[in-house]
Structure 1
Amino acid sequence: MTFKELIAAYATHTELEPKVAEKAIRGLIEFIATKTAKGDKLRLPGLGTFEVKKRPARAGRNPQTGAAIKIKASSRLTFKQAATLAAAAPAAKKAKAAKGAAKAAPKAAAKKAPAKKAAKK
């Protein structure tokens, strides 16, 4: 969904003018960005939690040369969905689990003991 599609859908859902809906969505995004930039944890009931997590400096490797490099400390915005939101989509989880099980089944079958050789006569 693009940002324009989001605005149109939100405007239709809330019966707001598209300009008002866009202002509301942009305001929410700005509010989330401002609060999390200060290091605050922002919890939206029924949706989830936005939080900035800090990653310490660490050693890494250049994949092309294999040379050791230093990776600077950084921070990133994370989102953890609310339990109610996770419970609202159990069908998607079941489908994903079934897809994973289907991929694992041939591998498991291949690891079984080899078939017995026919007895020599």
Structure 2
Amino acid sequence: MKLTKAVLIEAVYRKHENLTQRQATEAVESLLRLAKDALIDGNKLLLSGFGKFSIQDKKPRRGRNPQTGDDLILESRRIVTFKSSGKLRKIVNG
């Protein structure tokens, strides 16, 4: 099973009977928007008991096109990294 945004919204809606479907959608969308904004600004996102998301800057580097074998330069970029918490690792690994 995949945990999609729609499944997450439905789970929030079912778990909190005082919320409407629209309110559950807004709550999940708000959380995701806050998380994206924090990462875009270069901040770390720490979810206690789950893990830490952070941004890492990658320098330009040499690469190779696997189809043609031509050398090329891969531009610098930012990537999102995730490090799970010890609690989550322990639960996942049994």
TM category, shorter: 0.7 to 0.9
Q: Tell me whether 1:38 sits opposite 2:7 in the alignment.
A: no
Counterpart residue number, 1:24: 27
> Which of 59, 63, 66 does residue 63 from structure 1 map onto?
66
> Between Structure 1 and Structure 2, which shows a larger proportion of strand residues?
2
Residue range with higher mean Cα deviation, 52-61 or 77-86: 77-86
Q: Which amino acid counterpart does residue 88 of structure 1 have in structure 2?
A: I
Q: Could you list the per-position Cα deviations for residues 18-48 of structure 1 after superposition, in whole angstroms to 9, with x for gaps in the alignment? A: 2111111111111011111111111111111
Alignment partners' CA distance in 1, 2:4 and 2:38: 24
Deviation at 1:17, TM superposition (A): 1.9
Secondary structure of 1:46's aligned partner:
coil
Alignment partners' CA distance in 1, 2:24 and 2:74: 41
Q: Which amino acid counterpart does residue 57 of structure 1 have in structure 2?
A: P
- 1:72-91 to structure 2, matched below 5 A, reads 72-91=75-94
Q: Which amino acid counterpart does residue 89 of structure 2 have in structure 1?
A: A
Q: Could you list the per-position Cα deviations for residues 59-78 of structure 1 after superposition, in whole angstroms to 9, with x for gaps in the alignment? A: 00111111110000001112
TM-score where L is the length of structure 2: 0.87
> Which of 11, 24, 27 does residue 13 from structure 2 map onto?
11
Question: Unaligned 5+ residue runs, structure 2?
Answer: none
- Larger relative contact order (Cα-Cα within 8 Å, sequence gap ≥ 6): 2
Residue range with higher mean Cα deviation, 17-26 or 67-76: 17-26
Question: Unaligned 5+ residue runs, structure 1?
Answer: 92-121
Secondary structure of 1:88's aligned partner:
helix
Q: Percentage identity across aligned positions?
A: 31
Alignment partners' CA distance in 2, 1:89 and 1:13: 23
